Amino acid sequence: MGMLKEFKEFAMKGNVVDLAVGVIIGGAFGKIVSSFVNDVIMPPIGLMIGGVNFKNLSYPLKEAELDAAGEVLTPAVTINYGMFIQNVVDFIIVAFVIFLAVKAINRMNRKEEKKEAAAPPPPKSEVLLEEIRDLLKKQ
């Protein structure tokens, strides 16, 4: 029973729950970025370079083997560099968005540090005591 209690305490800690939420949101964000790249960015780029669909870009290493009826006996072996290009674009967009988010968080942290660094002025009683001390030193 003690191990179950320890596991429950571990799983309910704020960091673990925050991490789980981050992973779930990250997965959903990845789907959004993939859709953005596949459905919004790549079609115009493919159109600009001659109507190329990046998903279909591949280099065949071995052609598919077909039987007399035209059914595939062994599939073709290809290097799908078009999918690689799309994944690189996905990565660049995700990395850029994360960069912007980290930059915004760092900017907010710097503002908080500046607020903390600006110490409040000393109380009047301290200022008066310092003035009295300085006057006594002069005498």
Domains, the chain, in order of start with CATH, read: 2-138 (1.10.1200.120)
- From CA 42, how far away is CA 52, in angstroms rounded? 9
Mapped onto helix, strand or coil, the DSSP state of residue 115 is helix
75 contacts: CB under 8 Å, gap ≥ 6: 64
Q: Is the pTM of this model over 0.85?
A: no
Q: pLDDT tens-digit profile of 34-82?
A: 888 888 888 888 788 887 777 788 899 998 888 888 888 888 899 999 8
Percent of the residues in the chain that have a pLDDT greater than 90, as a whole number:
6
Phi, psi of 62 (to 5 degrees): -150, 130
CA distance 95 to 50: 28
**Element housing 130 (H / E):** helix 124-138
Determine the residue type at 17.
V
70 φ/ψ sector (left φ>0, alpha ψ -120 to 50, else beta): left
What pLDDT does 61 receive?
92
The predicted pLDDT at position 59 comes to 92
Is 121 strand, coil or helix? coil
| Residues recorded for the chain | 139
**pLDDT single digits (tens) 116-128:** 666 677 788 888 8
